[in-house]
Structure 1
């Protein structure tokens, strides 16, 4: 599949959003890669705790040629299976997901990549599914596109979104019109070094129906080859920070926190994640 095209619509503004959202967790999580086999099977176990709720997960991953199968079993005896197949047809990727015993929650997605366009469509596996479709046109430097969701049961659109992005070697800007035209989100990311490890990010989101605006600024700073720090602050005074440190090769410790700078008497929210790979 080509890597020179405009990318999927979901990738518009994604890098900036990830800097402002990824790993800002207030849960406790431990993930252990317990065993890896020569035939491509990897076994993992995950323990989550959010307040008084605990959940244990066991996962297995199997790779074979152009396919990847990922299975997760939780403490409620639910099995989530995701199968990804690449190059079934030229420049395509197919993704199928199923959850047992609730098979009606399954979904099939097909992606097509071209040098100047991409197309993605997905459909739920039930009698009257929701159909999602997205498309982008352009190049790796500038792209525009849109997505829509249609509920065949009620005969109505569940969403429609449009967006445009422009990329340079050291910066990326994106504007997205979402929530059926009710929300405008503009993001800008600027790399601060040639290695593209440190960057600053800004986002402005405005709700047209309420004339409400939210501004978020943040960034990433690489302290050393093993340690990364992220931080963000929004116009409501919510300050978040993330510290990631590679304890041993491929094993990561993540500490995150959130505090309201306009109400320092309120409790600070903290999260801890440990991912161990023997």
Structure 2
């Protein structure tokens, strides 16, 4: 097993991807054109500057953009950068980002910080822990300056079937959401996954590997509590991987 723990964003990432990635729901900031909502997430990572050190750029339209340096070595992973983040006035605030992880692929812990240069305030402070085996990945995170707690697990039965679960609890607003989901590789190039949560939302997705680097996904989501007053959501996403 490799010693390197990865970066802070890797804590709970596989569970988040299974339960949330490419579904029909939209992020808080997106463009709306008639009946279509859309956004663009573009990232680019450059080759090693020195052993273990890489540069990366990420652009999320219309939400944010950032440039960062990533350093991953034995027992440590560090990520630092500068970016612009959209605020409630639809303007962009300059943000300084920093995160660090120590540990191994078996157990690691880390923190992520965000400093708003316009208000000179700490707008992000998260702490995360993860314990992993070959088939089971677990994580526990304290987010939003300790205002929310998130626990997740990701279990692989075999190379074709995986399940995941997530529990989120907000302290100040006193709500808890439980999300469960599963994915199964029907064919070597076709993935099907579904998820449901205690808020009454049920979603399903089919992802197809079209060619060497191109993936497309068609998804649907329905809110059981408002199914009579709101129409189900349908989504389409496309991804290019290196």
TM-score (norm 1): 0.70
The answer to whether the aligner puts 1:155 opposite 2:116 as a matched pair is no
Cα RMSD (Å): 3.2
Change in Cα spacing, 1:275 to 1:158, as seen in structure 2 (3 Å) is closer
The answer to whether the aligner puts 1:13 opposite 2:12 as a matched pair is yes
**Secondary structure of 2:163's aligned partner:** strand
Shift, 1:245, TM fit: 3.1
Counterpart position of 2:165: 202
CA–CA distance in structure 2, aligned partners of residues 275 and 114 of structure 1: 28
CA–CA distance in structure 1, aligned partners of residues 33 and 217 of structure 2: 16
Residue number among 44, 49, 68 corresponding to 1:88 in the alignment: 49
Change in Cα spacing, 1:150 to 1:26, as seen in structure 2 (3 Å) is closer
CA–CA distance in structure 2, aligned partners of residues 223 and 216 of structure 1: 23
CA–CA distance in structure 1, aligned partners of residues 190 and 104 of structure 2: 34
Change in Cα spacing, 1:180 to 1:254, as seen in structure 2 (3 Å) is same
CA–CA distance in structure 1, aligned partners of residues 102 and 74 of structure 2: 9
**Secondary structure of 2:222's aligned partner:** strand
CA–CA distance in structure 1, aligned partners of residues 201 and 75 of structure 2: 40
Residue number among 103, 113, 118 corresponding to 2:72 in the alignment: 113
CA–CA distance in structure 1, aligned partners of residues 49 and 23 of structure 2: 37
Greater Rg over alpha carbons, structure: 1
Shift, 1:175, TM fit: 0.5
CA–CA distance in structure 1, aligned partners of residues 227 and 36 of structure 2: 26
**Secondary structure of 2:129's aligned partner:** strand
Q: Which moved more, 1:14-23 or 1:262-271?
A: 262-271
The answer to whether the aligner puts 1:215 opposite 2:214 as a matched pair is no
CA–CA distance in structure 2, aligned partners of residues 217 and 11 of structure 1: 19
CA–CA distance in structure 2, aligned partners of residues 96 and 247 of structure 1: 26
Counterpart position of 1:255: 218
Shift, 1:226, TM fit: 2.9
Counterpart position of 2:205: 242
Residue number among 179, 183, 198 corresponding to 2:144 in the alignment: 179
CA–CA distance in structure 2, aligned partners of residues 160 and 272 of structure 1: 33
**Secondary structure of 1:165's aligned partner:** strand
**Secondary structure of 1:256's aligned partner:** strand
CA–CA distance in structure 1, aligned partners of residues 235 and 190 of structure 2: 17
Shift, 1:249, TM fit: 6.5
The answer to whether the aligner puts 1:270 opposite 2:234 as a matched pair is yes
Counterpart position of 1:164: 129
